[in-house]
Copies of this chain bind each other. A is one copy, B any other.
């Protein structure tokens, strides 16, 4: 006659709760350690329960991207298109930098999510109201690419390793790659660097961004057109 105790159900699962847990888990343990099984365990739930709220893992990752993009906030009006676009891109950058895995996951997506479409649409709007033709806006969007979200793909991770390598190895490096060695030496002694010896990612990002935005402004003023 005694009924079994009701299962100690936590607040019922929802898509939102699944996504929040996934973001938190990825923040804590890294994106490689995020699996459907571990996420289910985290939520005190059997793996298959997740599939009621996300169709599959790809859709989970899409949702996580949208969650982060939601932290960007609305565009702030600027005195001109260039500072408005610049501010918006840097806002996206700081949102993505808040989650170490975010840029990696965005890179792996191919289909746009609603938040990404909305963000893209707002940026196109900034160009158009700033006096860009449809044609030039189109090429500007392609030229900026992932930089619109505040990150870039570097050739390789050039942050200096924890310990300087074996001197013999270093000497061999310098002999084989003299130009790289010259750059590395200069960067290592760079006083202005914020992060100590090595490269200041934020400076490099803004340097490249301004190079592109300045170039685009020059084309706009010139009335550039790809069909001309």
Contact = CB atoms under 8 A, between A and B. Distances in A.
Interface of A: 107, 109-112, 116-118, 120-122, 124-125, 128, 134-135, 137-139, 141-146, 148-149, 152-157, 176-180, 182-183, 186-187, 192, 199, 203-204, 207-208, 211-212, 214-216, 219, 226-227
Contact of A124 (B118, B141, B183): B183
Given A118-B177, A148-B155, A212-B215, A142 B111 contact: no
Nearest to A192: B227
19 contacts: A107-B153, A110-B157, A111-B156, A116-B155, A116-B156, A117-B177, A120-B155, A121-B178, A121-B179, A124-B179, A124-B180, A128-B179, A128-B182, A134-B183, A134-B186, A139-B208, A141-B155, A146-B152, A192-B227
Nearest to A143: B208
Given A111-B157, A153-B146, A226 B203 contact: yes
Contacts of A187: 138
Contacts of A211: 143, 211-212, 215-216, 219
Q: Tell me the interface secondary structure of chain A in the complex.
A: helix
A204 B153 contact: no
Contacts of A216: 211
Nearest to A204: B142
Given A145-B153, A146-B154, A157-B111, A139 B204 contact: yes
